[in-house]
Amino acid sequence: MAVLRAFKAIRPTENLAMKVAALPYDVMNTEEARIIGEKNELSFIHVDKAQIDFEKGIDQYSTKVYEKARENLYGMIEKGILVKDNKKNLYIYRQVMDGRVQTGIVGCTAIDDYINGVIKKHEFTLASKEKDRINHVDYCNSNTGPIFLTYRTNNRINEIVEKETENKPVYDFVSEDGISHIVWIIDKEETIEEIQMLFKKINALYIADGHHRAASAVKVGLKRRAQNPEFTGEEEFNFFLSVLFPDKDLAIMDYNRVIKDLNGMTIGQLVNNIKGNFEVEEVTEEVPYRPQKRHQFGMYVEGKWYKLTAKKGTFNELDPVLSLDVSILQNNLLKPILKIGDPREDNRIEFIGGIRGLKELERRVNTDMKIAFSMYPTTVQDLMGVADSNNVMPPKSTWFEPKLRSGLFIHELK
């Protein structure tokens, strides 16, 4: 039974939404964020990565950075850039990218659902990254970036959303990357209640993107409970900001790999070693090579593309984790041959989101890396299967596009 709660969103005025909305804090580094912030003083990146408002070299985890984030957030409220709704609503957030539409419901989900497994995870989190967002949420007293959740499609929810989107939206703009962002308010009590009842019949929600934000929001909620032993469970800190999309709307892009060296091998030695677990075929047409189905991989090295096809015995289709292409590549090539043990820790490997294109793999290999692997995308069904089995995916298994913008909805915890 999933809990979905209406809330009083703090959000931009209609004429400023496009300038406020910003990409999530974790898809850019500080210098990339600094460039955005210098061009746009209203960008929400000044809240989510407040270190950009200090001199270069500032410790991004210092107390004064979190204090600056709070100052920037409440400064935007004081100036009327952000305004808090006067009643609790649900919202609809639609994004259109290259003609593909994804439409989600914005509300708050329960920290208890995260704790008891109704909200399912498919990734490990790092304590250092959690600590950063815990401090950010705590100092700002708000969830400033939504968690990207998905659920198995429900026809009645779809019908309600379709009807609500016939109304005039409160935001309708195209961001600098060509993605459309459209928002509607659901303010009728009977509609909100029906949606909430429908979600109570849903057994599981799945984190698509935002594992660190979710874990941090939950830990702040638990911290507030400890500070308020008489809590009732209805306080805002018991809930965190989420956007819930039906699985039919979502698409996962490839998440590719580039590696700095060949572990001391020549290209001939490498190919011979790979042939133990993969069929290897040089590709001369339709390059860069994009895998066309599961268990196929592209490999680019020394100016040539190869198609790798995993042999039987290298994977287990009955195992939701071992059947993943990211597992097959890691367990049968990256670890035993290139000696990439833990991809989370090894600085010889980097990951390139599919949004950057395969030409980016060629560019990196031709400049600062040595070899690249193009992947067939993981599916939403793969993600759900892993989460349902209470397992986690290997690192960097999924790349969702489009990314949810921060700053369009803020959930205050007090």
Instruction: Tell me the pLDDT tens digit for each residue of 20-47.
Output: 999 999 889 999 999 999 999 999 999 9
User: How far is Cα of residue 257 from the mean position of the Cα atoms in its chain?
Assistant: 18
pLDDT category of residue 139 using cuts at 50, 70 and 90: very high
What's the mean pLDDT when you consider all of the chain? 96
Please give the Cα distance from 188 to 321 (Å, whole number).
43
pLDDT category of residue 65 using cuts at 50, 70 and 90: very high
User: C-alpha angle 402/399/383, rounded to 5°?
Assistant: 115
Q: What is the pLDDT of residue 402?
A: 95
Say if CB 92 and CB 161 are below 8 A apart: yes
Return the closest-CA partner of residue 393 out of 129, 121, 127: 121
Q: What is the pLDDT of residue 414?
A: 87
pLDDT, mean of residues 122-132: 89
Q: Which residues does residue 173 pair with via DSSP β-bridges, in sequence order? A: 181
Residue 336 has pLDDT above 90, yes or no: yes
Please give the Cα distance from 226 to 193 (Å, whole number).
30
DSSP conformation class of 268? H
User: C-alpha angle 306/309/311, rounded to 5°?
Assistant: 140
- Look at the chain and count its residues: 414
CA-CA distances (angstroms) from residue 101 to 182, 195, 254, 268, 396?
11, 21, 19, 45, 24
CA-CA distances (angstroms) from residue 289 to 181, 245, 307, 346?
32, 31, 7, 26
Residue 124 has pLDDT above 90, yes or no: no
Residue 110 has pLDDT above 90, yes or no: yes
pTM, whole model, 2 decimals? 0.92
Instruction: Give the whole-number percent of the chain exceeding pLDDT 70.
Output: 100
pLDDT, mean of residues 406-410: 98
Q: What is the pLDDT of residue 344?
A: 84
Q: Mapping DSSP to helix (H, G, I), strand (E, B) and coil, where does residue 21 land?
A: coil
Q: What is the pLDDT of residue 125?
A: 87
Q: What is the pLDDT of residue 178?
A: 96
**Which two structure tokens, joined as six digits, stand for 126?**
């790092």
User: What structural domains does the chain harbor?
Assistant: 4-251+401-412 (no CATH), 255-376 (3.30.1760)
pLDDT, mean of residues 117-128: 91
Please give the Cα distance from 60 to 216 (Å, whole number).
17
pLDDT digits (tens, 9 = 90+) for 366-402: 999 999 999 999 999 999 999 999 999 998 999 999 9
The angle, 0 to 180 degrees and rounded to 10, between the axes of the packed helices 211-227 and 127-140 is: 60
Please give the Cα distance from 166 to 145 (Å, whole number).
27
pLDDT category of residue 61 using cuts at 50, 70 and 90: very high
Task: Taking the CA atoms of 321, 322, 323 and 329 in sequence, report the sign of the dihedral they define.
Answer: positive
Torsion (CA) 145, 151, 154, 159 in degrees, nearest 10: 20
